[in-house]
């Protein structure tokens, strides 16, 4: 039997919270068919009213009514996010308040995308659980629901049968992780490739990469330099050479760079290198190769920096997270 995924929406929901994950599950079915295998996922959109439901972007989705949908038989239940007012409004709906807890209890797993964690919390479904949500909603969620542990860093979190993701596109990453869990990591990788994603992001990855944090400043004069840094981590990257590349004196470069990024150049570059190292380690590469690629050779230097920053050795991290191929020595 197909694995039934039910996505719950309501007026003014965030469209990508549903279309992103459903596209992942649909692509996984396509990969299975290409391999001569049967489709695995069956995806449906649900709402309290049924029929077309308008998203915040103006696009409507056709939905099945909760009243016509049994609470048993759902394998994965996911709740879409929205801004505060639409969520507060739907939490007042008695049908939602009765149907969702019963379905979540019977389902193999349940969760949310983006700020949908507020709905789960408002129904008392994630008390004592660790959850992820959109970065802008982390503080309000923690303040309103002290029984919930909010993880402000991770892009998605698995806690028992509860899966929650951070903002919007992180729902795609979580859906890929679900595909890897249900089927195979290689299928999830092919889905990511088909969807032309830059990379499959693991759940522990921060909502904000060092590059994104820096690029978020509209007046950042170092955008091109930071892009160059990311592509040249294997090089020797010191203040004199970077200052020269930026056309500034060393003192001026150091001062302006720290003002923009919030970090001294050396610490920022180490952050870039360690962020890249985590991704490479999930591919099962040897410590020597990872160290060389990110400019932290020898591997003992990588190990010291990695353990200082993350509290775990790169070797153990690779064993815990490697998903592509067999880990090397």
pLDDT confidence of residue 285:
86
Say if residue 184 is in the same domain as residue 222.
Answer: no
**201 falls within a domain:** no
Residue where a domain terminates, one of 194, 225, 247: 194
pLDDT confidence of residue 20:
95
**202 falls within a domain:** no
pLDDT confidence of residue 205:
52
Say if residue 58 is in the same domain as residue 153.
Answer: yes
Say if residue 177 is in the same domain as residue 216.
Answer: no
Say if residue 21 is in the same domain as residue 116.
Answer: yes
pLDDT confidence of residue 19:
95
Number of domains in the chain: 2
Residue where a domain terminates, one of 139, 169, 194: 194
Domain that holds residue 101: 3-194
Say if residue 190 is in the same domain as residue 220.
Answer: no
Alpha helices in 170-238 (DSSP H): 170-182, 185-194, 210-215, 223-231
Ranges under pLDDT 70 in the chain: 198-220, 320-329
**68 falls within a domain:** yes
Q: Residue 194: what are its φ and ψ, rounded to 5°?
A: -65, -40
pLDDT confidence of residue 217:
53
Residue where a domain terminates, one of 160, 194, 228: 194
Say if residue 187 is in the same domain as residue 222.
Answer: no
CATH number at residue 126: 3.40.50.880
CATH number at residue 296: 1.10.10.60
pLDDT confidence of residue 206:
53
pLDDT confidence of residue 47:
97
State the DSSP string of 232-268: TTTS---HHHHHHHHTS-HHHHHHHHHHHHSS-HHHH
pLDDT tens string 198-230: 555 555 555 445 555 555 554 568 888 888 998
């Amino acid at each position: 039997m197909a694995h039934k995924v039910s996505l719950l929406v309501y007026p003014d929901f965030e469209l990508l919270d549903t279309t992103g994950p459903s596209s992942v599950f649909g692509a996984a079915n396509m990969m299975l068919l290409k391999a001569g295998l049967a489709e695995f996922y069956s995806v449906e959109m649900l709402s309290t009213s049924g029929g077309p439901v308008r998203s915040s972007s103006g696009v409507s989705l056709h939905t099945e009514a909760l009243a016509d949908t049994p609470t048993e038989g759902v394998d994965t239940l996911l709740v879409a996010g929205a801004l505060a007012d639409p969520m507060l409004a739907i939490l007042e709906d008695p049908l939602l308040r009765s149907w969702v807890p019963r379905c979540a209890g019977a389902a193999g797993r349940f969760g949310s995308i983006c700020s949908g964690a507020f709905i789960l919390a408002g129904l008392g479904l994630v008390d004592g659980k660790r959850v992820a949500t959109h970065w802008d909603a982390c503080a309000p969620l923690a303040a309103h629901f002290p029984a919930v542990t909010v993880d402000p860093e991770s892009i998605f979190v698995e806690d028992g049968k509860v899966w929650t993701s951070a903002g919007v596109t992180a729902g795609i990453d979580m859906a890929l992780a679900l595909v890897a869990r249900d089927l195979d990591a290689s299928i999830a990788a092919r889905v990511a490739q088909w969807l032309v994603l830059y990379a499959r992001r693991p759940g522990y990855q921060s909502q904000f990469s060092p590059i994104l944090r820096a690029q978020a400043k509209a007046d950042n004069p170092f955008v091109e330099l930071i892009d160059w840094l990311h592509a040249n981590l294997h090089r020797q990257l010191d203040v004199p050479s970077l200052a020269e590349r930026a056309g500034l004196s060393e003192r001026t470069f150091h001062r302006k760079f720290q003002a923009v990024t919030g970090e001294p150049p050396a610490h920022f570059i180490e952050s870039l290198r360690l962020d890249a190292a985590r991704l490479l380690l999930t591919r099962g590469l040897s410590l020597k190769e990872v160290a060389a690629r990110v400019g932290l050779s020898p591997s003992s230097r990588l190990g010291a920096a990695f353990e200082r920053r993350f509290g775990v050795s790169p070797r153990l991290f690779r064993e815990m997270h490697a998903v592509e191929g067999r880990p090397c020595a």
